Structure 1
Amino acid sequence: MAIRRRERTHTVYLHDLSVELTADWLRERRHRWPRSSNPHLLITTHTYRHPASPAISYCAMRAAFDQAGLLPRQVWADRILDETRHSVDPVHLVRLFGIHPAIAVKYVHAAHPDKALPRIR
């Protein structure tokens, strides 16, 4: 799956279940909102609207996560950690998620403690 972030495009590899769920979601979205011109897979406070329209309420976004018993930050961190389990390359994480290199290294150490280098003092 290709994801645009600013002027760059990132390739995200999904397993079969994610591909199936994504396709189901896109069909459902087309069915519910056939005239929507929003090109984004997930609708967030930044992607749901035209720049001239008002921002979505934080409470409205949060309600969906509350119903699932999750925090948005947890979903984000779990996604990064899952990707890290498949790759020990912090540069890959920086490019894919746009995170700081030091944070990427922390994720690699968390997912692969056997490959962590000793701390330099």
Structure 2
Amino acid sequence: MTDDEITAVQQTAVTPAQRLVVALAAVHAARAKTTREIRLDHIDLAAHRITIAGHRHALGDFVREALLDWLAHRRATWPRTTNPHLLVSAHTALDQNPVSHFYLKKHLLLRGVHLEHIRGDRILTEALATGGDPLHLATMFDLHPTTATAYADTALNILQRAIDNPDR
């Protein structure tokens, strides 16, 4: 992502829920559907761990702060909700369902924040940092081998261009 794109996301994602969803995509490459399905019992604040799509991840400071902000907002807004999902809305606070696809679309996509773009950028950044290791990408982000190989190939092409054209 360009600096302008990152700035635009920072200026758009201003609510605790928006910041959390963006943080999960930017750090853990979490898909929108996966984020909607995260439950409170998938979070272990004491151990600094989060489980996303069945995979445990370290909970770094950036995501942890966004998570704590959201949890404080959630408690203040819906103190009596029994919804087990991390994200809740005015509609889902009264039941046990995750927020809808439209919830994230309304709060992010329609405002110009494309989670898949953020997610893809995160995976490509990891591919560049690891020298295009498809096994690492597949393991870290639960990618299909074909997808992991495509990201690795893209990273290797970028790295090769940087070697061939060091002045660019």
The TM-score normalised by the length of structure 1 is: 0.61
Task: Give aligned-pair identity as a percent.
Answer: 20
Matches within 5 A, 1:58-97: 58-66=101-109, 68-87=111-130, 88-97=132-141
In 1, the alpha carbon distance for the partners of 2:149 and 2:136 equals 11
Q: CA deviation at 1:68?
A: 4.5
Question: Counterpart of 2:12?
Answer: none
What is aligned with 2:4? none
2:71 to 20, 24, 30: 30
Structure 1 range deviating more: 66-75 or 87-96: 66-75
Shift of 1:86: 1.0
Distance 2:119 2:63 in 1: 17
- Aligned partner of 2:148 in structure 1 is 104
Matched-pair contact (CA < 8 Å) for 2:85–2:97: no
How far did residue 69 of structure 1 move?
A: 1.2
String of CA shifts for 1:69-93, please: whole Å, max 9, x gaps: 1222212211111111111211111
Question: Is 1:9 aligned with 2:56?
Answer: yes
Shift of 1:59: 1.7
Give the aligned residue type for 1:24: E
In structure 2, list runs of 5 or more residues that go unmatched.
1-47, 162-168
Higher relative contact order (CA 8 A, sep 6+): 2
Cα RMSD, aligned residues only: 3.3
Matches within 5 A, 1:21-60: 21-34=62-75, 35=79, 43=87, 53-60=96-103
Cα deviation per residue 1:45-77 (whole Å; 9 max; x = unaligned)? xxxx79x72342222111222355122221221
Q: Residues of 2 paired with 1:11 and 1:92: CA distance? A: 16
In 1, Cα distance between equivalents of 2:49 and 2:65: 18
Shift of 1:9: 2.8
The 4+ residue runs of structure 1 with deviation greater than 6 A are none
Measure how far apart 1:95 and its partner are. 0.7
